[in-house]
Amino acid sequence: MPTSRMQRLVKDRSNAAVYIVAESRLGQLPVKVKASGKKQAPSKGSNAEAVQDGLDKESYELLAKIPGSSLVGLKYTPLFDFFMELQETAFRVIADNYVTDDSGTGVVHCAPAFGEDDHRVCLAAGIFETAGLVVAVDDDGCFIEKITDFKGRYVKEADKDIINAVKDKGRLVSKGSIEHSYPFCWRSGTPLIYRAVPSWFVKVEKIKDQLLECTKETYWVPEYVKEKRFHNWLEGARDWAVSRTRFWGTPLPLWMSQDGEEIVVMDSIEKLEKLSGVKVTDLHRHYVDDITIPSKRGPEFGVLKRVDDVFDCWFESGSMPYAYIHYPFENKELFEKNFPGNFVAEGLDQTRGWFYTLMVLSTALFGKPAFKNLICNGLVLAEDGKKMSKSKKNYPSPIDLIDEYGADALRLYLINSPVVRAESLRFKRSGVYSVVKDVFLPWYNAYRFFVQNAKRLEVEGLDVFSPIDKVSLLKSSNVLDHWINSATESLVSFVQQEMDAYRLYTVVPYLVNYIDNLTNIYVRLNRKRLKGRTGEEDCRISLSTLYHALVTTCVAMAPFTPFFTEVLYQNLRKASNKSEESIHFCKFPSTTGERDERVEQSVNRMMTIIDLARNIRERHNKALKTPLKEMVVVHPDNEFLEDITGKLKEYVMEEINVKTVTPCNDPLVYASLRAEPNFSVLGKRLGKDMGKVSNEVKKMTQEQILSFEESGEITFFGHCLKQDDIKVVRQFKRPENVSEKEIDAAGDGDVLVILDLRADQSLFEAGVAREVVNRIQKLRKTAQLEPSDPVDVYYKSVDHGKNSLGEILNSQVQYIRDALGSPLVPKEMAPTDMVLVGEESHDVHDMSFVIYIARSCPVLSPDLAHASGNNDHVEALRVYLLSRSLSRLKNQFQAGNGMITVDCIEGYPAINLQLGKHVFLSAGDFYLASRS
């Protein structure tokens, strides 16, 4: 019983029996039943305390209030007399605080062989010091012979008979059922009992301090598992029971005499063979159990036999660093060079399992930890938060997941989850899909875009793509080339840094951000360059930059996504003969540490401007296809403005679809300034002065704010405030007589972006052209055309009597050609034998038209008929040219410096054809020539 709790002596009025009950448990005494058969409720007398405690005062009388400590040492008569010979030391009251008064009566019976706390307190009290521990239940869970009334009975089946026996003795106060948690065998579902068994122990308590010191030498991720969970477990470490009473397992190498006085520990097969004279070929117990050793004390003491127990399997796991290379019998030098191991990884539950046994054995044997670094993962639970169970099937099949999403997606999902921070993960199938959607698809799209445009060079008859070396690429004049090279350098450096620190969970978010930048900034903004619209040399520079970014990313991420990166690498390596055969043979990318932070800052500023401008468009439902007249960027820093209006200006204009970008370094022209204190920074520093300083900051005038931005500091009430202490907010000041629908702005507190939303005829025409191009691109996709497929695009206006669409498209020829890679040709200029691959009708701004996409084919100039004077010859030439492969014909013209000779048409003389004069390789080329 707990010594600190008060007990009550209570007398039963019906039979004069006296009970000892914890003060807080008086209400647990059984309620007496009246003659009427109804239970009597507690009376409502003057003793409010008794009523409050729920005691039936008409049935019980309170005799005394005593501390639990006053009962310690008192003897009592046991319920059964099976062990009366132990009454000198047993059957007395002892105390311990593990007994609680929130259930039962506050007094419990101790059975030292069947409970950990029971054993502890009885051992401390000397209950079984003389007679030894009494175990009344055998290995089968049945009562032993000494329990004569119930011998041979399974303990759980004897409950009712035991209750009846207590009742017959007149000692049953009350009976009933209480639902509570209880251990069951997870395999058979049968109830378990806690029973003391003889065991062999490792003296862990003796080396506890040494264990704590060895643990300090190790690095854990996350650190709190080491500092709290594992440290606390070591602080309370007890001797380790390493033996188990099973058949299968590693036999304990202990040979003991029958009287237990002689024990021999076998530390090698050689020793066992020498002492026994038996050749040992197998160490399983059914081979070694029959091997005996003669006693050193003489024949009269018999022989030594191996003890029946086998090792706890955790002892074997903890021996892994030595056992797997058969140390110390072999590989001694190998072991000593590589111990402790670099790192281990396992679940949070192993803080009391494998991590513990590794540390105990290595400390005991070598005085050092078994590992240098440790990654601890949490538990993967079912989606409802319950433990995954084969019987309940409350988790998706791993095989199905891998078949549907791939092993890399599953791996990356787990790496990017709380489970690698030693926290629990509620596994969701949708989470694996999100990895595919957010990581692998954008990554693959960037790779596919590269492959399509690298192949396009060959299709167009140019030299096969071969990547330019990285050193030469550093000379590129394109700012985005420098930016993605710097971003790739940052990615490699970050991955290496985090892997050195064993932090798996930080890599995936960084990778997602990098891939987003690669696809949505570099590839998106460089489409013209990558497609060759800015010249072959610039195209090869951008393709080479993208190639190196993809290869480097794949190599850096290969440990995380081994299959996906291998597939990409096997195709990418074809462009370089020096590449390793597998990505997993490649060395991790080396980093120079030279990041171009200035370029990264410039691009970040550009993306901020683009995002703000997009927000304005979304507010006013202005689609990106609709061009706008002007965008004004307001910021006091000229360097900031130079970033936007310098080398990045073209990208900003194209992405926002504005005609001009105007910088403004005078914030007061378009904005009013407002200062706000940074409470998170100033709160701790200013203390009581925070309120009055905050008020002064909010009252700062426009001039004070401008002066503060220039000098970088300002003082209030003796406190010097820096730029991190005050946030300057720019609020748009709209010009007079202008509505929000005409001009609007957006800002982030640092920079202000203003868009002129007013439309004019030129903007309308540009918008129509964008809409038409958009319809064409969608039709190309519907027709499943590759970017490198040579096609001509035609249009026909179906607005009878109107010519507005033709005029608009004629005014936008250059934009359409840049967007499509070829001009948009009027349908009347199409060859009569064109091969259509797609046709669609559309209506844009009340203008109806039809789009046609046809395979490109050679077109002969009308001048050729006049030059030759023979229409039959011209027709034969046309048929001949149509029969030729377009790419081979293009190569032939390139080889002949724009000239070829056709001398293979029977019945007609040889004729020289000049590209661009007599023949054109597409209707688009002929259309452009006719316009000029």
pLDDT for 626-664, tens place per residue? 888 899 998 888 888 988 888 899 899 988 889 899 998
Listed in sequence order, the DSSP H helices in 501-596 are 507-517, 524-525, 527-530, 536-557, 562-572
Please state, in angstroms and rounded to a whole number, the distance separating the CA atoms of residues 11 and 19.
Answer: 6
Look at residue 35 in the predicted model and tell me its pLDDT. Answer: 46
Look at residue 43 in the predicted model and tell me its pLDDT. Answer: 46
Using one digit for the tens of pLDDT, what is the confidence trace for 186-241?
A: 778 888 888 888 889 999 999 999 999 999 999 998 898 999 899 988 888 888 99
The class of domain 429-563 in CATH terms is: mainly alpha
Listed in sequence order, the DSSP H helices in 687-733 are 690-698, 702-711
- Is residue 368 very low, low, confident or very high in pLDDT (cuts 50, 70, 90)? very high
- Domain ranges within the chain, ordered by starting residue: 6-135, 199-242+316-377, 243-311, 429-563, 602-756, 761-855, 859-931
Indicate the residue type of 626: T
Please state, in angstroms and rounded to a whole number, the distance separating the CA atoms of residues 510 and 492.
Answer: 10
- Residue pair 455/788 in contact (Cβ under 8 Å)? The answer is yes
Look at residue 57 in the predicted model and tell me its pLDDT. Answer: 80
Using one digit for the tens of pLDDT, what is the confidence trace for 807-821?
A: 888 888 888 888 888
- Residue pair 318/354 in contact (Cβ under 8 Å)? The answer is yes
Residue 604: pLDDT above 80? yes
Look at residue 52 in the predicted model and tell me its pLDDT. Answer: 43
Indicate the residue type of 466: S
**How are the residues of the chain apportioned to helix, strand and coil, as percentages rounded to the nearest 5?**
45, 15, 40
- Residue pair 570/550 in contact (Cβ under 8 Å)? The answer is no
Look at residue 592 in the predicted model and tell me its pLDDT. Answer: 67
- Is residue 47 very low, low, confident or very high in pLDDT (cuts 50, 70, 90)? very low
What is the pTM (predicted TM-score) of this model?
0.71
Look at residue 120 in the predicted model and tell me its pLDDT. Answer: 86
Using one digit for the tens of pLDDT, what is the confidence trace for 303-329?
A: 999 998 999 989 999 999 998 899 999
Using one digit for the tens of pLDDT, what is the confidence trace for 750-759?
A: 888 989 888 8
Please state, in angstroms and rounded to a whole number, the distance separating the CA atoms of residues 4 and 23.
Answer: 12
Residue 725, helix vs strand vs coil: coil
Closest CA to 566 of 588, 581, 587: 581
Angle at 53 between CA 48 and CA 59, to 5 degrees: 85
Strands (E), 272-407: 292-294, 303-306, 310-311, 341-347, 371-377, 380-381
- Is residue 331 very low, low, confident or very high in pLDDT (cuts 50, 70, 90)? very high
- Residue pair 599/483 in contact (Cβ under 8 Å)? The answer is yes
Angle at 103 between CA 99 and CA 105, to 5 degrees: 75
- As a whole number, mean pLDDT of residues 477-483 equals 90
Look at residue 803 in the predicted model and tell me its pLDDT. Answer: 56
Closest CA to 795 of 850, 728, 730: 850
Angle at 558 between CA 554 and CA 563, to 5 degrees: 95
**Fold agreement (429-563, 761-855):** no
Query: Considering the domain 761-855 in this protein, what is its CATH number?
Result: 3.30.2320
Using one digit for the tens of pLDDT, what is the confidence trace for 692-710?
A: 888 988 888 888 888 888 8
Backbone angles phi, psi at 66, to 5 degrees: -135, 150
Residue 609: pLDDT above 80? yes
Angle at 581 between CA 401 and CA 458, to 5 degrees: 95
Look at residue 593 in the predicted model and tell me its pLDDT. Answer: 59
Residue 596: pLDDT above 60? yes
Residue 51: pLDDT above 50? no
Please state, in angstroms and rounded to a whole number, the distance separating the CA atoms of residues 433 and 423.
Answer: 21
- Is residue 369 very low, low, confident or very high in pLDDT (cuts 50, 70, 90)? very high
What's the mean pLDDT when you consider all of the chain? 86
- Is residue 360 very low, low, confident or very high in pLDDT (cuts 50, 70, 90)? very high
Closest CA to 576 of 586, 591, 590, 563: 586
Residue 33: pLDDT above 80? no
Q: Is the peptide bond before 340 cis (omega within 30 degrees of 0)?
A: yes
Residue 696, helix vs strand vs coil: helix
- Is residue 44 very low, low, confident or very high in pLDDT (cuts 50, 70, 90)? very low
- Is residue 48 very low, low, confident or very high in pLDDT (cuts 50, 70, 90)? very low
- Is residue 612 very low, low, confident or very high in pLDDT (cuts 50, 70, 90)? very high
Using one digit for the tens of pLDDT, what is the confidence trace for 836-890?
A: 888 999 888 888 889 999 998 888 888 776 556 678 888 888 888 888 888 888 8
Burial classification of residue 200, based on how many CB atoms lie within 10 Å of its CB (0-12 exposed, 13-18 middle, 19 or more buried): middle
Least confident of 18-32, 33-47, 81-95: 33-47
The better pLDDT of the pair 385, 250 is held by 250
Look at residue 28 in the predicted model and tell me its pLDDT. Answer: 76
Q: Count H helices, E strands: the chain?
A: 37, 32
Radius of gyration of the chain from its Cα atoms, rounded to whole angstroms? 44
Residue 21: pLDDT above 90? no
- As a whole number, mean pLDDT of residues 587-592 equals 80
Contacts 24+ apart (CB under 8 A), 603-609: 603/479, 603/480, 603/483, 603/521, 603/648, 605/640, 605/643, 605/644, 605/751, 606/643, 606/644, 606/648, 606/651, 606/652, 607/521, 608/748, 608/751, 609/633, 609/644, 609/652, 609/656, 609/751, 609/753
